[in-house]
Chain A
Amino acid sequence: MYLNQFLFLAAFLFCVGVYGVLARKNAVLVLMSIELILNAVNINLVAFGLFRESVAGQVFALFVIAVAAAEVGVGLAIVILIYRNRHSIDLTEVDMMKG
């Protein structure tokens, strides 16, 4: 088993995803970056599951995939809502309120 290689791939994807969420201005690309993080999680879970000889890892990954689909469904709906009202999905323009 080359566990390390999977973990490095997952860690790399995680970093790319976090960078994308912080740096991208386009809402759809931010959603895709979040998907990258979730896929890093899935790689981790499946690799560890095989390494630990436990099916729990794969079952967890299946749950993550299913829930991520529901999440993205809601996310795209919100993005479409914003597009209808503003004709833009640039996140820097969504700043009526300042935290």
Chain B
Amino acid sequence: MSAYGDITKNGLWKQNSILAQVLGLCPTLAVTTTFTNAVSLGLATAFVMSVSNLTVASLRSFIPYEIRIPVFILIIASLVTVVDLAFNAWLHEMYVILGIFIPLIVTNCIVLARVEAFAAKNTAWQSAWDGAAMGFGLTGVLAVLGIVREFVGQGTFLSGIELIVPGTHAIQMLPADYPGFLIAILPPGAFFVLGSLIAVRNWMDARANKRAMLAATPVSAGA
């Protein structure tokens, strides 16, 4: 049980794929222009990571060590293709919206990183959960990036939600004549926001470390 707890904690915060490992920036920068896009890609990635981790962990005893990387890439690319086709065929409405994101998942090196670092050494179900937890950690960061960029860039929240949940609509956060701020929507805006997020995370970690050190050495702290 605690193994799963550790996996969750690592995925969501301690080894967060973006903030700690700084992996998978290509899709991160490309699609976090709005909250809706960001969360959609995040959840699709979480799903693929979970399935590819599960598959690799189940097959790991058959994969020769020397050629594991090409086999992993083969498995990930095949699974993404299958997910892409299945989405298109059976969830077509959703595919119209998320479709462009699914092939992008292949380019996200966090998928390969988790397969290599975790699924190749752990049991199938733990690996599946690790993929999901890493994916949710990624989704959380993408959501924050999306919210900030959308707010600064176009002054709205939940823009594009009507494509996913019919009948809803975006919320105008700033006056309707807000002219927009182009750089927040373009990739440099993503770098600015991401840099700030990593700085905040490092600051929080540094503070936590200092506290832990003070707590561990009460004598020298008092001196």
A, B: real partners: no
